[in-house]
Structure 1
Amino acid sequence: MSFIGHPFAFDPAHGYGLEGLLGVGAPGGPPDFDGFWRGRRAAAALVEPRPLLGDVVEERDGFRVHEVSYDALGGRCGALLALPCDGPVRHGFVIGHGYGGRHEAGADLPLPLPESAAILPIAPGLPALGLRPEVPSTPDGHVLHGIGSRDTYLIGVCVAGLWGAASALLELVPSPTLDGRRLGYLGESFGGGIGALALPWDDRFAAAGLTVPTFGNHPLRYTLPCTGSGESVRAHLREHPEAAEVLAYFDAATAAARLRIPVLSACALFDPAVPPPGQLAVHNALAGPRRLEVLEAGHFPYPGEAEERRRLRRITSEFFGRWMGG
């Protein structure tokens, strides 16, 4: 599809076609990349989630949606919890969101499999339940917060929030069937990027779906203009090139090379916010069973978008049915 007449001062495809995108690689990462993340995961596992179930805020698609909070490495987190109105729970999902934050659960319901529950964590600092006084709530500030050190960078706190959400879900859902089973993960854009960073180190997950994932192949991303959080990072690096050493620990494509569970990737050919080469860098690096669904565009409206989204929902259900059991 041609997006002639788009309003951007750059090419959101960055000159790549599908064949070129399939050849994009991933940085190997720092020598202690694995050790850093295993250490973070071990520290996170010591934090008791102490989940607190709040009021029902919405009922739709056969689910009751509650506000919840829980503890994770880096502080108390907010989330939504979607529980089926009737019947048992056999599957559990953790669902990440885009960089706009999360105000409701509607876009993520119904879930890919029947008899499922899901926790939908809100990244620390982002609207609405994740807001923190000391953390910028807009993407351009959020993506730079704490970037002076790998130990303080906010993206690491967001990754830990996903691990904590999984722990909270397993405590909140009174299902012996779920308690002994592994989980599914779904994440789009920002949620896809932090999901790729979180999943290799957590064996509670059986399969994942990553849609237009961000944070893939930072060295390449630095060269590509965009309208998303990556542009803020590009500007910061011009003044602080040493930040590249920190960002090397938060490369979703580097992490994907350690990810061995089955992953469904939905990546776009045209995307002004998340450059497509970074998205495909994540998919191409995946070390386990993988499936690629190509989207015409991401973060941009286009004819046929609704139908393409419906098709992706169907494929997602089939994918998780295969790897987690229907």
Structure 2
Amino acid sequence: MGALFTHDFPFDPSYGRTLDDLLRIPVPAAPDGFDAFWRARYEAAREVRTAPEVGPPEEERDGARVFAVTYTSVGGVRIGGRLVLPAEGPVEHGFVLGHGYGGRDAAGPDVPLPLPGSAALLPCVRGMGDRSLLPDVPATSGAHVLHGIGSPETYVIGDCVADLWCAASALLELVPDLARADGSGRGLGYLGESFGGGLGALALPWDERFTAGQLTVPTFGNHPLRLTLPCAGSGESVRTYHRAHPEVTEVLRYFDAATAATRVRVPVLVAAALFDPSVPPPGQFAVFNGLAEAGELHVLAAGHFEHPGTAADERQLALAKSEFFARQRV
């Protein structure tokens, strides 16, 4: 299979796989204690008093008002982000939105939200973006993805997942209408792209407050395979580290988004790319394959790569997200 696009990368970002090949990518087995590890982390996150604080409005557009927000996550870390509320009318839906490894400088393309009448919390997970920088956590993706990687208990990715769970707690406290809806059988929706997609796959199995999710070009899928695939994203830092520290494979088993996907029981729409220099498509499709009957697939021509059809692909994905969440109880 030839490259799908002309590019200057020293490797083929399609990795020689056809769609049929990608749909057969396996899912790694869970290590001993995988479920107990994540349930304990989730229970600890639910014990956090998030104490959210909302600042003055920052902008109004696309039928929404955007506010600065902070809340407390595990370890007492104060997380910053944006709170999005409808400019008019009641709140009818709620979302938590993860971000890519580029961080989040503003509400950006996440607004408008997939459904009208929605509220959302858009956190910058610890160490990332302009709102959650920390002196002891690297802010660049290549260093951030290695922070604390020596053990499952210290790896920063676990705390970033907890930041999402605490974002849900903060949102439900800030918007009481959502808390009432949640109690009557409705839940929250989750959206995440790239880094945020991988975090979402790790977060969704354990938190019953989320009743649907959407993951775009999710990372952290099938780590054993990812370690063999060169890329231009944060995975290359992990590959380099692995060459000097092969024992890290045992840590990564607890943070495999494809393995976690096998535990998801709510509907999830995965937008996975056939060509992606930053997040290898085999890993993306491993996440979808792990979902089995819980998953719906939206195929993208490319991820993390501008091409002549990018704008059309983005419009089609936005429509697919809206149609997907309109069918769910969020």
What is the TM-score when the length of structure 2 is the normalising length?
0.96
Distance 1:37 1:196 in 2: 12
Asked whether the 8 Å contact 1:259–1:287 carries over to 2, the reply is no
Q: Deviations over 1:134-176 (max 9, x none)?
A: 1100000000000111111000010000000000000111326
Match of 2:121 in 1: 119
Q: Is the 8 A contact 1:92 1:184 kept in 2?
A: yes
What is the Cα deviation at residue 60 of structure 1?
A: 1.1
CA distance in 1: counterparts of 2:295 and 2:31, whole angstroms: 25
Cα distance in 2 for residues equivalent to 1:16 and 1:72: 40
Is 1:15 aligned to 2:20, yes or no?
no
Distance verdict in 2 for CA 1:225–1:2, change over 3 Å:
closer
Question: Where in structure 2 are the equivalents of 1:226-305 lying within 5 Å?
Answer: 226-305=231-310
Secondary structure of the residue aligned to 1:323 is coil
| Cα distance in structure 1, aligned partners of 2:62 and 2:91 | 15
Q: Structure 2: any 5+ residue segments left out of the alignment? A: none
Q: Deviations over 1:159-207 (max 9, x none)?
A: 0000000000001113264453310000000000000000100000111
Secondary structure of 1:286's match?
helix
Match of 1:166 among 141, 165, 168: 168
Question: Which amino acid is the alignment partner of residue 31 of structure 1?
Answer: D
* Distance in 2 separating the partners of 1:288 and 1:197: 18
Tell me, yes or no, if structure 1 residue 42 matches structure 2 residue 43.
yes
- Structure 2 residue aligned with 1:152: 154
**Distance in 2, Cα, partners of 1:64 & 1:106:** 13
Q: Please name the residue that 2:79 is paired with.
A: 77
8 A contact 2:3–2:13 mirrored in 1:
no
Matched residues in 1 for 2:167 and 2:81: separation? 8
- The whole-number CA distance in structure 1 between the counterparts of 2:288 and 2:102 is 23
Conserved 8 A contact 1:263-1:288? no
Unaligned regions of 5+ residues in structure 1, if any? none
- Does 1:128 pair with 2:133? no
TM-score normalised over the length of structure 1: 0.97
Deviation at 1:5, TM superposition (A): 3.0
Contact 1:260 1:289 in 2 (8 A): yes
The 8 Å contact of residues 63 and 82 in structure 1, kept in 2 or not, is answered as: yes
The one-letter amino acid of 1:114's match is: P
1:58 aligns with 2:63: no
The AA in structure 2 aligned to 1:19 is D
Secondary structure of the residue that 2:317 maps to in structure 1? helix
Number of paired residues? 325
Give the 3-state SS of the residue equivalent to 1:93 in structure 2: strand
8 A Cα contact 1:148 1:246, kept in partner: yes
Which residue identity lines up with residue 164 of structure 2 in the other structure?
Answer: L
Q: 1:4 to 1:97 in 2, by over 3 A?
A: closer
Is the Cα contact below 8 Å between 1:259 and 1:288 reproduced in 2?
no
CA–CA separation in structure 2 for the residues paired with 1:188 and 1:96 = 7
Residue in 2 that maps onto 1:93: 95
Identity of paired residues, percent? 61
CA RMSD for the aligned pairs? 1.3
Cα distance change of structure 1 residues 279 and 178 upon mapping to structure 2, 3 Å threshold: same
Deviations 1:67-106 (A, max 9, x none): 1111111322111100111100011000000000000112
For 2:234, give the aligned amino acid: S
